[in-house]
């Protein structure tokens, strides 16, 4: 299978927060598996897309979920009119063809599923296909990246230590207010001063994280609010649609957030 369909045709916008680009490139060239840790919507996925484009590599992204099985990753036998044949999963396609494989929010997957990546994360760099009795050696360009949100980890949903220690890691967080406003203005196509007000709203919501809210408004959320504004939705209504209502169903918390929106605007 050709991996050309997984190559990004245009460079994704990404504003570096620190030296994460240098760190990613070092890990890539040494084929050290990489883990990105940070809150929802802070730019982890965009960063991986940016790096895949920068390195000229195809990118296969897999959104992990609790119902995902090992077969969803590595492949399975399928039955059609011509009989039974094997179909590679997305991980196997990346391993064979030499793509960057990005397992997004890996902590959402069952632990008995994620252990299939272990042989790819050490000096073996192989993927066992037990149902085919095949051992796939990773293409020299294959690179594995995973991400997860430590804020949601629990005794049930967390990576096993034996998995964590197979990866180098980069911490992500939200950008400093000035930088975040620049990002929101660029991505949403709104005025810089308005973007700054949205960032202030986000800061207020993030201060409520752990005190009623699981998490505050993400950078992604602010960009969505900005895009709604560009489409003619009044600012307060756009903030309500993209920030307040998605964050909580609690009446009092919604009131607090709406007060913050009014104060910042």
Contact 113, 69 (CB under 8 A): yes
Mean pLDDT in the chain?
92
User: Model confidence at 152, in pLDDT bands (50, 70, 90)?
Assistant: low
Predicted confidence (pLDDT) per residue in 227-256, tens digit: 999 999 999 999 999 999 999 999 989 999
Positions of E strands within the chain: 34-37, 59-63, 75-80, 83-88, 100-104, 126-129, 134-137, 143-148, 168-171
Beta 126-129 vs 134-137: how paired, if at all?
antiparallel
Average pLDDT over residues 91-103: 97
User: Model confidence at 81, in pLDDT bands (50, 70, 90)?
Assistant: confident
Predicted confidence (pLDDT) per residue in 156-185, tens digit: 567 788 888 999 999 999 999 999 999 999
The tokens describing 110, both together, are 């069952």
- Alpha-carbon distance 24 to 34, whole Å? 8
pLDDT of residue 163: 87
pLDDT of residue 151: 66
- Is 209 in a helix, a strand, or coil? strand
Position 29 pLDDT exceeds 50: yes
CA-CA distances (angstroms) from residue 64 to 69, 104, 113, 162? Answer: 10, 6, 10, 19
Position 155 pLDDT exceeds 90: no
Average pLDDT over residues 98-118: 90
pLDDT of residue 157: 67
Position 214 pLDDT exceeds 90: no
Residue 248's φ and ψ, nearest 5 degrees, are -155, 155
Residues β-bridged to residue 204: none
The domains of the chain are located at 4-171, 177-264
Query: Which CATH fold topology does 4-171 show?
Result: Rossmann fold (3.40.50)
Nearest 5°: the CA angle 113, 116, 122 is 140
- Percent of the chain's residues with pLDDT above 70: 97
DSSP assigned state of 160: -
Of 196, 31, 18, the closest CA to residue 100 belongs to 31
Position 213 pLDDT exceeds 90: no
């Amino acid at each position: 299978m050709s991996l050309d369909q997984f190559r990004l045709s245009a460079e994704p916008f990404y504003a570096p927060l620190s030296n994460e680009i240098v760190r990613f490139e070092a890990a890539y060239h040494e084929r050290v598996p990489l883990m990105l840790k940070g809150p929802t919507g802070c730019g982890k996925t965009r960063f991986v897309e940016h790096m895949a484009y920068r390195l000229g590599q195809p990118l296969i992204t897999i959104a992990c979920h609790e119902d995902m099985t090992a077969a969803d990753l590595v492949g399975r036998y399928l039955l059609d009119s011509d009989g039974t044949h094997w179909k590679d999963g997305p991980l196997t396609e990346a391993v064979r063809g030499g793509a960057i494989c990005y397992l997004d929010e890996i902590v959402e997957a069952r632990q008995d599923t994620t252990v299939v990546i272990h042989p790819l994360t050490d000096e073996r760099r192989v993927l066992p296909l037990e149902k085919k009795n095949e051992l796939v050696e990773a293409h020299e360009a294959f690179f594995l990246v995973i991400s997860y949100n430590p804020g949601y980890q629990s005794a049930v949903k967390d990576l096993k230590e034996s998995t964590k220690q197979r990866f180098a890691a980069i911490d992500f967080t939200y950008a400093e207010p000035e930088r975040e406003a620049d990002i929101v203005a660029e991505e949403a196509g709104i005025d810089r001063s308005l973007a700054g007000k949205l960032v202030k709203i986000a800061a207020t919501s993030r201060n409520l994280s752990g005190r009623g809210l699981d998490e505050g408004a993400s950078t992604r959320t602010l960009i969505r609010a900005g895009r709604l504004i560009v489409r003619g939705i009044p600012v307060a209504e756009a903030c309500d649609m993209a920030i307040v209502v998605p964050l909580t169903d609690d009446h009092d918390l919604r009131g607090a957030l709406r007060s913050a929106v009014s104060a910042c605007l």
